[in-house]
Amino acid sequence: MMSVRSTSWRNELKSHIRGKSLVFLLADSNLPDSYSKDIMKVCKIKNKTHLHKIKGGEQIKTHQHLIKIYNELDAVGADRKSVVICLGGGTISDLGGYAASTYKRGIDLIILPTTVTGMVDAAIGGKNGINLESNLGILKNQIGTFHQPKLIGIDFNWLNSLPKDEVKSGWGEMLKHALLKGGSHLEQFKNTEPNLASLTPLIIDSGNIKEGIVRRDVKENGERAILNLGHTIGHAIESLALDSSNGSEIKHGIAVAWGIVFTLEVSVRKMGFNNTLAKELIKWIIDIIGYPEKMWGSEEIWLKMCKDKKNTNGNVKDVLLRNPGDADWCFTWEREEFTILWEQFRERYELTSC
């Protein structure tokens, strides 16, 4: 997999869409209109174009929304030589990428990520997906494919319209990459304020960490699984938030950061991760993300963990850290031990328990 990310991509975009029968721009309607207008202008010079706006968020990653996109692609005459461009955050590229990979058995995809999470994580590596509504509630990214984008175009100016909680969510994914990399990158990241202006210069580096891992293991037969650091718990928390009757949403990166706090605690016990360092890292993380109002119980979390895509043969797998920069993706949970450790964790951090 060659790097397809670029910060000076407008000419590349033009060359990618040259001769395409149709450009189907799937854009997040939360974004300022000027963003999609700008892209439409670039595309319209030589191409038939269609703009399809959809309000981004985890709630769009359903078969219902997917089928709407298929029908729209069909209605505007998209064929195998058409291209889908996703302009938005990870939920837009997850849904749009999956649609592109399955419409007429796969058409070209370009991703223009407009969030920090999108730029450092979601757009990179070709994974896409939608959630499955099961008897157990919503299961994150259970349905999807690997479909590499032809181009990932990054424009830091897009981040200016990003809500603060989205910046913090992006920080959570950057935290994950920093812990997976360790060394001077982690030090630099720890010394970076979690605001947009300070984080922006680190975005390309953070994406490079993911890209390096993906390049060595595109289809996640092994090492790529370390990118799930904090995600076993993170996905469980996200799914439970989506299931809850008030439909409250916990941002992906925040859920991951909580997963990482738990992972650090467990890594001390199970992997000999340095206790002093773990405490220091946890304090730093919580200073940034704050304490959760409420945390789900071990029973609910466990049921979601049982559906994690990493699991095999009924074993609940997780990623732990021996040191920063040294992850183990083969840890297997025993339910009893998980219950004890999770309930301790919950008591320690849940605001209502404090």
Residue ranges binding a second copy (CB under 8 A): 21, 63, 67, 70-71, 74-75, 77, 79-81, 101-106, 127, 129, 132, 134-136, 139, 141-146, 219-220, 306-307, 309-314
Which residue do the tokens 């209605």 mark?
A: 75
Smallest gap from Cβ 22 to a second copy, in A, equals 9
Are 40 and 87 contacting, i.e. CB atoms less than 8 angstroms apart?
no
Smallest gap from Cβ 316 to a second copy, in A, equals 10
Q: Which residues contact 306 (CB under 8 A, 6 or more apart)?
A: 316
For residue 286, what are the CA distances in angstroms to 181, 258, 262, 280? Answer: 21, 9, 11, 10
Q: Which of 40, 21, 127, 27 is nearest to 86 (CA)?
A: 27
**Nearest to a second copy of 105, 184 (CB atom):** 105
What single DSSP character describes residue 132?
A: E
Helix H or strand E encompassing 38: helix 33-44
Smallest gap from Cβ 20 to a second copy, in A, equals 9
**Nearest to a second copy of 45, 340 (CB atom):** 45
Smallest gap from Cβ 305 to a second copy, in A, equals 12
**Nearest to a second copy of 22, 278 (CB atom):** 22
Smallest gap from Cβ 106 to a second copy, in A, equals 7
**Nearest to a second copy of 15, 198 (CB atom):** 15
Are 302 and 237 contacting, i.e. CB atoms less than 8 angstroms apart?
no
Q: Which of 261, 190, 275 is nearest to 230 (CA)?
A: 261
Q: b/e for 56-82, b at 16 or more Cβ within 10 A?
A: bebebbbeebbebbeebbeeeebeeeb
In the Cβ-directed half-sphere of 53, how many Cα atoms lie within 13 Å?
A: 11
Smallest gap from Cβ 78 to a second copy, in A, equals 10
**Nearest to a second copy of 143, 277 (CB atom):** 143
Q: How far apart are CA 191 and CA 297, in angstroms?
A: 34
Smallest gap from Cβ 149 to a second copy, in A, equals 16
**Nearest to a second copy of 61, 181 (CB atom):** 61
**Nearest to a second copy of 157, 312 (CB atom):** 312
Are 109 and 83 contacting, i.e. CB atoms less than 8 angstroms apart?
yes
Q: How far apart are CA 242 and CA 230, in angstroms?
A: 18
Which residue do the tokens 């991951």 mark?
A: 256
Smallest gap from Cβ 226 to a second copy, in A, equals 16
**Nearest to a second copy of 19, 157 (CB atom):** 19
Smallest gap from Cβ 147 to a second copy, in A, equals 9
Q: b/e for 111-120, b at 16 or more Cβ within 10 A?
A: bbbbbbbbbb
Which residue do the tokens 């960490």 mark?
A: 209
**Nearest to a second copy of 74, 280 (CB atom):** 74
